[in-house]
Homo-oligomer: A and B are copies of this chain.
Amino acid sequence: MTAATNGLIGSDLPVLTRKDFVTDQEVRWCPGCGDYSILAQMQKMLPELHIPRENIVFISGIGCSSRFPYYVETYGFHSIHGRALTLATGLKTARPELTVFVVTGDGDGLSIGGNHLLHAMRRNLDITVILFNNRIYGLTKGQFSPTSPLGKVTKSSPYGTTEQPLNPTRIALAAGATFVARSVDRDTRHLEETLRKAALHKGTSFVEVYQNCNIFNDGAFDAFADKEVRQDRMVYLEHGKPLRFGKSLENGVRLDGFVAQVVMNAGDEADLLVHDAHTENPTLANILVGMDYPDFPVPIGVFRDVQHPTFEALIEQQVEEARQKDAPNFEELLFSGETWEVV
């Protein structure tokens, strides 16, 4: 068998169902963990990509969230803490035809793995990164994470933390990610749709999912994500649509210069902020990412979605052009430079 990578790819695209993506492994998350929902939406979404399972790879780091690959019936790599993105980068560069998902946590992806996140985002490989943000270290039983709020009391901060949290979505934007979105574990419809958009985007897709850790940080997102209050305290971003929220979308958000303002009971004439996910200008996305409960409804959905050439495509192009210019000949390479004969 050869490495000619296409030789590895099944050509016929089978029709797959949710069940085809379920493994025989017993799921080992705490009952009630938000991870279950994310797994379920992923397994619902995957068949719609019409990609053979053998061409999909899930790569994760270490954490509760990072056990994800064991439960998805594709190729999977449960790597080491914080490094999933580095494996994904190498794999996708070597094998551009594969579909690569990365699952990480707020500790895995932003604490020990923060640097790799920055560089993966700017390189824009065509991979999909899902960061489960439960604002806590779950697997190690409850220390604070880089997304835990200032003053948070945890096992390792009995007096409260003394550092400002990072905003994952803001960091992804600053690093130049071409697709940046946010969703919530319990808003299953929105979550599935967001995962689909992310998977379909060509380039690095970054999705932050607010995920409840009901054991060590229960209710972290209840204030705005609970079913009862959701419509009033979250705003769904849709490209080309004005920002409206509230039970009957009666409220909205407008801009005063570059400052966002909530408009209660905004009539139709109100000059509400219209979302543009496709603009190259990062300012709007930055304004939106600055909106947070309780001052603002929390924005959910796609912040940014633009097209740039991917890292692997640019490299393939260099390989092709180099081959055209100068067909590979190893003998020639061996004999290159100054040579001389000894008889």
List A residues at the B interface (Cβ < 8 Å).
110-115, 118-119, 122-124, 146, 159-160, 162-167, 170-171, 173-176, 255, 257-259, 281-284, 286-287, 290, 308, 311, 314-315, 318, 321-322
A258 and B284 contact, Cβ closer than 8 Å, known pairs A114-B114, A122-B146, A311-B162: yes
Evaluate contact between A118 and B176: CB separation under 8 angstroms.
no
Give chain B nearest CB distance to A182 CB in angstroms.
16
State the Cβ distance, A284 to closest chain B Cβ, in Å.
Answer: 7
CA distance A171 to B177 in the complex (A): 13
Give the contacting residue for A290; candidates B159, B163, B165, B282; CB below 8 A.
Answer: B282
Q: Let me know if B118 and A164 touch, CB within 8 A.
A: no
CB distance from A257 to the nearest CB of B (A): 7
Q: Complex formed: what's the CA distance from A165 to B174 in Å?
A: 11
Q: Which residues of B contact A259 (CB under 8 A)?
A: 281, 283
| Contact between chains at B322 and A159 (CB < 8 Å) | yes
A162 cross-chain contacts in B, Cβ below 8 A = 123, 311, 314-315, 318
Instruction: Verify A114–B119 contact, CB threshold 8 A.
Output: yes
Q: Which residue of B lies closest to A316 (CB)?
A: B162
Which chain B residues lie closer than 8 Å to A315 at the CB level?
162
* CA A283 to CA B290, docked complex, whole Å: 8
Partner of A176, one of B114, B166, B175, B281: B166
Whether A174 contacts B170 by the Cβ 8 Å rule is: yes
Least CB separation from A313: chain B residue = B162
What are the residues of chain B within 8 A of A286 when measuring CB–CB?
282-283, 286
Q: Of the candidates B165, B255, B314, B321, which one forms a contact with A258 in the assembled complex, judged by CB atoms under 8 Å apart?
A: B255
Q: Is the CB of B122 within 8 A of A118?
A: no
Question: Which residues of chain B are within 8 angstroms of A170 by Cβ–Cβ distance?
Answer: 174
Residues of B within 8 A of A167 (CB): 174
Given the known inter-chain contacts A173-B174, A255-B258, A257-B258, please indicate yes or no for A122 contacting B284, CB distance below 8 A: no
Decide: A164 near B308, CB < 8 A? Known: A114-B115, A258-B258.
yes
Q: Chain B residues with Cβ under 8 A from A287's Cβ?
A: 258, 283
Shortest distance in angstroms between A80's beta carbon and chain B's nearest beta carbon? 15
Of chain B, the residue at the smallest CB distance from A122 is B164
Q: A280: nearest residue on chain B (CB-CB)?
A: B290
**How far is B317's CA from A162's CA once the two chains are assembled, in angstroms?**
10
Q: What are 6 A-to-B residue pairs whose CB atoms are below 8 Å? A: A114-B114, A122-B163, A159-B322, A255-B257, A258-B284, A258-B287
CB-based contact A166/B283 at 8 Å = no
- B146, B160, B175, B290: the one contacting A166 at CB < 8 Å is B175
Query: How far does the Cβ of A228 sit from chain B's closest Cβ, in whole Å?
Result: 31
Q: Which residues of B contact A175 (CB under 8 A)?
A: 166, 171
Q: Which residues of B contact A118 (CB under 8 A)?
A: 110, 114-115, 118, 166, 171
